[in-house]
Amino acid sequence: MRHYLPINSDRSKLLSALFLLQYLIFFSSCENEKHGSLHKTQLTENEIEVKDGRLYFRSKESFTQYYNKYVSLPEEELSNLLTPFYKKGFLSLKPIVTEKNEDKLFNLYKEKLNLQVPRGTTSKSTFAYSSVESPINDDPFESVDELIGDETFAAYLNINGEIQIGESIYKYTDVGLFITDKKAYTTLKNFLESKNISENPFSKTDLTVKENLVPSLPEDFPTPIGNNNQIVYYRPANSKLTASKSKTNSAKPGIYNSSDPNYNSFFNSLNSCNPDHGLFANLFGDNNVCIDQYERKRRVKTKAFNYNYLLVFHLGVKCVHQFKGWTGFWRVEATDEIKLLVEAAQFEYNRDALLGNNIINNQTKERAYFMNNKRAFFTGPNNINIYNEWGQPLISYVNLTSLPQVFQDDLTFEFFGTGLSSLDNLIQNGIDSSLNATKLNEWFYGGLYTTAKSQLQTAFGNTTVPPTNRTFAAKFPQNGNIIVQKSVSSQGYDIGVREKTFDYGIRLCFNSGDSSSWSIRPEIGCDILVKPSNFRVKIIGAARKGNEWHGSKFNVDID
C-alpha cells in the first residue's frame, strides 16, 4: 500500500576496476535511498568544500539536499551560499548576478572570460551617469544556457562545468556527461582531447564532431567507455519534442481571464514563438526558451523544461523579467507585474505494467481529491442510488506538503483512467501525438472539470469551485503508466520571477506487489523509481512595465 517516495589499472587496470565497481555500487545505492535518510540528515555549511577549484560534496545525497533546498528559494539565497567560496578559488559556471554583486563578479570573471570594460566605463557608477550611453557587452553566460539550462544546477558547477561528489569528478560538456575518479582526471582530459571534445563550456565542440560522435555513444544509463573503462559516460535518451504553434487563443476557465484591458489587448495580439533549443541544446533534457527583448536592456524570458543531469533532475516552468547591466550580464529585475500562465503541462511516469492484480486490472472505480489538507475518496459506481452512482465520499485529513512534490497543488485529483473511456483507449499506453495531447487538454477543461466540480461540491459543499492551479493524475497500472496534466496561474507584483517546479530530484515511486492499489500517498517505502518523461506544454510568460505588457507564448507538442 506504499507507493510514492521522495528520494530523496597493472595499476591502471586495478584503478579502473575499483572505480567502476565503486561507481556502480554508489549509483545503485543512491537510486534506492529511503525517504527517512534523506530527511534525517541535516544540512551543515561544512559539508561543502572547494577542491581544485570545484565544489566538493561528500555524497550524492548531500548534494541533492542542497540542490533541492535552493532550487525553490529566491536566487539571492543561493548567491549568499556560494559567494564565500569565490574567495577559495571557486568560480561558478553561471553565477547568480544581482545589482549588488555585478561589479565584483565582473572583476572575478574578466580574466577568465576575457571580458572587456565597455568604452568610457570603469564601473556601474560611471556607466550610470555617463552623458553618452556606452556599448554593452554580450553576456558570456548566455551560451551556458544551451548546455546547462537549470540556473541552480549551473551555479553549483565550476567554470569548467565540473563538480566533485565523493571521489568522483563529474564533467558536463556539450557532448554529454563524463565521470571519472579524481586520480584518473588526466585520463579524462586526454580522452576529450583525442576526440576533439571541448573542455571549455564557453567554447563549443565543432558541430561536425558532435554530429559524428554523439550518436555513437551510449545513452540513458551511465556506461564505461574509453581504454580500461576509467571513464563513465552518460546522456539521457533523446526526448526532444517538436514545437508547434497555436493558431487561436483558447479561453480556458480561469487561466487567461483578466480585468486589465491592456493585458487582454496584449494577449489577443500575441503570436506564438518557436522555442529556442538548437540541435544539441536538449542534450540533458527538454529546454524550451522564448525571449521577448522589448528594450535594449530589458527582456522577458519564458521557459519550460525537463532537465536530467543524472545527479538531479528538474521539471517545471518559469517566467523572468531581466535587465542588462553595464557589465553585459543579464540579471533579474523587479517589474510592476508578472504572470506565468500554463494552460497545459503534460508528462508521464512509466514502468512495467502491473500484472497479477485482479482488482486493478478490472479497472477499480476509485477517485480521490486532495484539497485544503483534506482527501475526499469516492468509490463506485454505487448502483443502489441511481441519482448519485458514486455515493458519499470518505473524508480524511492529510498534510498535502507530505505528498510527493509533483502532487502538491491547490487541487490534486487521481482517477483510474481519465473518466472518459474513448480517451482512455487513445492514451492508456502514453500520449503519442499532439492531437491526443490536445484531446486530453480539452477533456481537462471540459467534462473532467464538470465531474471534478460536482464531486468536490458533494464532498466540501455546494459553493466549492475547482481552483485554477490543479493537477490531474490518470492512472493506467495495467499498462504501467501515470499520465499527469497540470494548469498554473501565477501572478506577482513588484517582483521579477514567477516559476513553478513540478518535480525536482524527488522521485515518484510505487510498490508493484499484488496488494498495491496505486494510490497517491504520503507514506514511505517502495521498490521502483521513475522519472517524468514525454513533457508537453502550452504556456504564456508576461511582464508589465508601466502600462505595457511584454512576453511570449509557445506550445511544445500540443496544439
pLDDT tops 60 at residue 38: no
Grouping H, G, I as helix, E, B as strand and the rest as coil, residue 138 is coil
- In this prediction, residue 346 carries a pLDDT of 97
Instruction: Say whether pLDDT at 253 is over 60.
Output: no
| Grid cell listed for 476 | 493506467
In this model, does residue 414 exceed pLDDT 60? yes
Q: Which three cell numbers stand for residue 529?
A: 523509481
| Three-state DSSP state, 375 | strand
Other beta carbons within 10 Å of 434 = 17
Residue % of the chain over a pLDDT of 90:
59
- Give mean pLDDT, residues 10-28: 38
Other CB atoms within 10 A of residue 228 CB: 18
Cell (9 digits) for 415? 482517477
pLDDT of 214 strictly over 90: no
Q: Who has greater pLDDT, 256 or 410?
A: 410
* Range scoring the smallest mean pLDDT among 61-65, 73-77, 385-389: 385-389
DSSP 8-state class, residue 113: T
Say what the pLDDT of residue 360 is: 62
Overall average pLDDT of the 387-411 stretch: 86
pLDDT score of 119 = 58
What is the DSSP secondary-structure string of 491-546? EEEEESEEEEEEEES--EEE--STT------S----SEEE--EEEEEEEEEEEEET
Tell me which of 370-384, 429-443, 535-549 is least confident.
Answer: 370-384
Report which residue type is found at 313: F
The yes-or-no verdict on residue 404 having pLDDT over 60 is: yes
pLDDT band of residue 335 (cuts 50, 70, 90) is very high
AA identity, residue 316:
G
pLDDT band for position 528 (cuts 50, 70, 90): low
Question: Within 13 A of 191's CA, how many CA atoms are on the CB side?
Answer: 22
Across residues 285-304, what is the average pLDDT? 94
**Residue with C-alpha cell 494510490?**
519
Task: Name the grid cell of 502.
Answer: 513540478
Instruction: Give the residue with greater pLDDT, 236 vs 340.
Output: 340
CB 254 within 8 A of CB 468: yes
- Residue 371 pLDDT exceeds 50: yes
pLDDT reported for residue 384: 57
pLDDT of residue 229: 83
Written as nine digits, the cell of 25 is 555500487
**Which among 2-11, 179-188, 359-368 has the top mean pLDDT?**
179-188
CA distances from 258 to 44, 253, 254, 266, 285 (A): 45, 11, 9, 11, 34
Rounded Cα distance between 230 and 13, Å, is 8
3-state DSSP helix/strand/coil % of the chain, to nearest 5: 30, 30, 40
| Mean pLDDT calculated for residue range 236-260 | 54
Of 241, 337, 266, 297, whose CA–CA distance to 557 is shortest?
241
Going by pLDDT thresholds of 50, 70 and 90, the confidence category of residue 282 is confident
- Joined grid coordinates for residue 44: 551543515
pTM metric for this prediction: 0.85
Q: What is d(CA 5, CA 96) in angstroms, rounded to the nearest whole number?
A: 31
Express each pLDDT in 468-496 by its tens digit: 999 999 988 888 889 999 999 999 999 99
Residue type, 144: V
177: which 3 cell numbers?
556527461
pLDDT digits (tens, 9 = 90+) for 113-165: 988 876 555 555 444 433 344 456 789 999 898 899 999 999 999 999 999 99
Q: How far is CA 251 from the centre of its chain?
A: 26
pLDDT reading at 554 higher than 50: yes
pLDDT tens per residue across span 319-331: 999 999 999 999 9
Terminal-residue alpha carbon distance, the chain: 38
pLDDT band (50, 70, 90) for residue 507? low
- What is the tens place of the pLDDT at every residue in 82-126? 999 999 999 999 999 999 999 999 999 999 998 887 655 555 544
Which position has the grid cell 513533457?
A: 535
Q: Is the pLDDT of residue 248 over 60?
A: no
**Residue 361 clears pLDDT 80, i.e. is over it:** no
For 215-237, the pLDDT digits (tens) are: 889 888 899 997 788 999 999 87
Residue 262 is predicted with a pLDDT of 82
| Residue type at position 17 | A
pLDDT for position 163: 98
The pLDDT of residue 433: 95
For residue 382, the model assigns a pLDDT of 64
Tell me the pLDDT of the chain averaged across its residues: 82
Separation between Cα atoms, residue 559 and residue 420, nearest integer Å: 20
Residue type, 36: G
At residue 545, the pLDDT reads 96
- Burial call 48-71: b when 16+ CB within 10 Å, e when fewer: bebeeebbbbebbbbbbbbbbebb
Largest alpha-carbon pair distance within the chain? 84
